[in-house]
Amino acid sequence: AFRTINVRPYVVILFKDKTARTSTAEGSNPTWNEQLQIPINFKLDQLKGSLCIQLFDEFVDDLLEDDRLGMSEIYQRISRKWIGELRIPITSIYTNQRIEGTFELNSPKILLGYSKSSLNPGTVSIFTENLPDTRGPIYLSLFIGLEPNFDQPYFTTKYLDCMESDQIKGTIQIWSMEYSNEFPHRFSDLLVTLTTGKRVTITKLLGALEVPFDVREASRECLIRRFVSLIPVLQTTDPLGQLNGVWLTNNEILTHMYATPKDLAVLLTCYYMYLDFSVWLVFGEDRVVGPTCYVLIKENGNFYLVDPVSGRKYSSSDTYCPLVKVSLLANQSNVWGNIQSEKRVYLTQFDVKKSVDWRPLFRKNVDIPGDFLQDTTFEYKRTYPVSDLQKVIEMKLMKKISQWRGHRKTIWNRFLRDQLKSVLIELEAATTSELSASGFPLNIPYYSLSHIVERVKSTGLHMNMDNRVEFALAVHIHPYENNVLSVWIFLLSLLPRV
């Protein structure tokens, strides 16, 4: 993402109050080959957090004669800028015990303090120079291991009562046995457990559900991904949250406002069906989460995989897609098992009509289970006014940043706070005449106030030690139906230009 910029990156890993960091590298394609360790106590309260992997750019400021600190011999000041982060739930590390791969960092498209090179060598374009660098994603390759390894308790719901007919149960039992014998490392359980303790075929959870906005919206496909990704995700080591655990209906998700990734995938699949997409629920394995569900859609003749937690849509041939295994596809009419020898997802063929690639559960002589179990009468609630919450978040963050800075004075730029709410990309140009700005917008689903405070603190922007530094902060909340909230925070540090 920073091919034309001289960067000195380093990585910090953070969990609770424990941190570790790498050495500082040079350039935009660094290699560390370093091992960092953080102790984790797997108590219940510890499992609620995430391992935060932060990428920073270290830079050195040369101090002018009148800027040196008294009679000391400090001629340079070392500081840092936050570039991006990767958050891995501790529950995923606990469950998988080993996570390895190349991951895309969550980095804002706007990073003030970085500028694009001019289009033509030898010429200077103020407009181009002042635009934040938004060229592309940032990737980090890493390996995470848990020591010592341990055996996890086994859990199954397969002995609970099944609501299906004897014919359906017999068909599923024979199909699953044959499939698991042929592909022992692929998920093959076609019955899911509801909160009632009853087991049903996954097809009964799939069907059209009304979306929470006007379907005439041009961006309706993006909106359903956005809405679902903002629903708080329950991170738990409880086996009930796994694929062979308990599955929630739309009423339960939207009433309690939490879900596991598999539940969000089902909800998103149902929304796509309402919009008349060709869509399937995917049973597979995510590089971070482990066994989970994605959504597969066919759009303009091309297949795309959608992560319901992040809302990201990947081409089925994207080598950076976090989904690393595909076992089953399902819609309201059938389930298909992946019988391809190819294990790499980006080379997998997704046309279920090809019997050499996909094995259907139900043939023409079997009556497909009916009785759609989602609540088609669910009424979305109008979201409460968010202006008060917006003010609470803003005041809380300003207070916390002042506390984190300790004895150093914290000056807030009130003028830019108002400007930030309406001006984002052009803010850099508006401040270049007098101030040098570093900052970024953060977009966070609203879980709790403490969650937002922790996300802001982890960026380290408050750690600027220059006594001339000023800060600007703005908060904007975009409400969706049913009290689903998208929180935007724009945070800047500002220094007078020399």
Could you tell me if 222 and 492 are in contact, meaning their C-beta atoms sit under 8 angstroms apart?
no
Token duo for residue 419: 């400007």
Query: Domain check: are 355 and 414 in the same one?
Result: no
Could you tell me if 258 and 241 are in contact, meaning their C-beta atoms sit under 8 angstroms apart?
no
How do residues 181-204 score in pLDDT, each as one tens digit?
999 999 888 999 999 999 999 999
Predicted local distance difference test score (pLDDT) of residue 433: 38
Which has the closest alpha carbon to 221: 277, 282, 296? 277
Could you tell me if 55 and 140 are in contact, meaning their C-beta atoms sit under 8 angstroms apart?
yes
Query: Domain check: are 271 and 300 in the same one?
Result: yes
Q: Is residue 378 part of a domain?
A: no
Predicted local distance difference test score (pLDDT) of residue 271: 96
Cβ neighbours around 163 below 10 Å, total: 17
Q: Is residue 111 part of a domain?
A: yes
**Backbone dihedral angles phi then psi of residue 213, each to the nearest 5 degrees:** -160, 175
Q: Which residue has the higher pLDDT, 243 or 76?
A: 243
Query: Domain check: are 200 and 112 in the same one?
Result: no
How do residues 198-243 score in pLDDT, each as one tens digit?
999 999 999 999 999 887 777 889 889 999 999 998 776 666 678 8
Query: Domain check: are 207 and 80 in the same one?
Result: no
Query: Domain check: are 175 and 126 in the same one?
Result: no
Q: Which residue has the tokens 């004895």?
A: 407
Q: CA-to-CA distance for 106 and 86, rounded, in angstroms?
A: 6
* Amino acid (1-letter code) at residue 408: R
Residue 413 three-state SS: coil
Query: Domain check: are 178 and 325 in the same one?
Result: yes
Cβ neighbours around 70 below 10 Å, total: 5
Final residue of a structural domain among 96, 114, 145:
145
Residue 333 three-state SS: coil
Q: Is residue 21 part of a domain?
A: yes
Query: Domain check: are 255 and 106 in the same one?
Result: no
Could you tell me if 493 and 463 are in contact, meaning their C-beta atoms sit under 8 angstroms apart?
no
Q: Is residue 376 part of a domain?
A: no
Query: Domain check: are 194 and 290 in the same one?
Result: yes
Query: Domain check: are 314 and 193 in the same one?
Result: yes
Q: Is residue 370 part of a domain?
A: no
Helix (H) or strand (E) run with residue 143 in it? strand 139-145
Query: Domain check: are 213 and 325 in the same one?
Result: yes
b/e code 203-227 from CB counts within 10 Å (16+ = b):
bbbbbbbebbbeeeeeebbebbbbb
Half-sphere exposure at residue 324, Cβ-oriented, CA atoms within 13 angstroms: 14
CATH of the domain at 476: 3.40.33.10
Q: What is the mean pLDDT of residues 310-324?
A: 93
pLDDT of 497 above 60: no
Q: Is residue 16 part of a domain?
A: yes
Predicted local distance difference test score (pLDDT) of residue 70: 53
Q: Is residue 1 part of a domain?
A: no
Q: Which residue has the tokens 């609470």?
A: 392
- 488 burial level (CB within 10 Å; 0-12, 13-18, 19+): middle
How much is the pTM? 0.81
Query: Domain check: are 136 and 47 in the same one?
Result: yes
pLDDT band at 397 (very low <50, low <70, confident <90, very high): very high
Q: What is the extent of the structural domain holding 38?
A: 9-145
Rg (CA), the chain: 25
Q: CA-to-CA distance for 443 and 470, rounded, in angstroms?
A: 22
How do residues 120-140 score in pLDDT, each as one tens digit?
333 222 222 333 444 468 889
How do residues 318-368 score in pLDDT, each as one tens digit?
998 999 999 999 999 999 999 999 999 999 999 999 999 999 998 876 667
End-to-end CA distance of the chain: 28
Predicted local distance difference test score (pLDDT) of residue 73: 54
Structural domains of the chain, count: 3
Q: Is residue 313 part of a domain?
A: yes
**57 CB contacts (<8 Å, ≥6 apart)?**
7, 8, 9, 80, 81, 83
Query: Domain check: are 345 and 454 in the same one?
Result: no
Cβ neighbours around 170 below 10 Å, total: 12
Final residue of a structural domain among 360, 376, 407:
360
pLDDT band at 400 (very low <50, low <70, confident <90, very high): very high
- The DSSP-derived string for 306-368 is E-TTT--EEETT-TT-SEEEEEEEE-SS-EEEE--S---GGG----TT-TTTEEES--TTSPP
Half-sphere exposure at residue 446, Cβ-oriented, CA atoms within 13 angstroms: 21
Distances (CA, A) of 411 to 404, 418, 419, 469: 13, 15, 17, 7
Predicted local distance difference test score (pLDDT) of residue 470: 85
Q: Which residue has the higher pLDDT, 119 or 85?
A: 85
Could you tell me if 396 and 449 are in contact, meaning their C-beta atoms sit under 8 angstroms apart?
yes
Could you tell me if 296 and 305 are in contact, meaning their C-beta atoms sit under 8 angstroms apart?
yes
Distance of CA 160 to the CA centre of its chain: 34
Token duo for residue 121: 């060598």
How do residues 378-396 score in pLDDT, each as one tens digit?
999 888 888 899 899 989 9
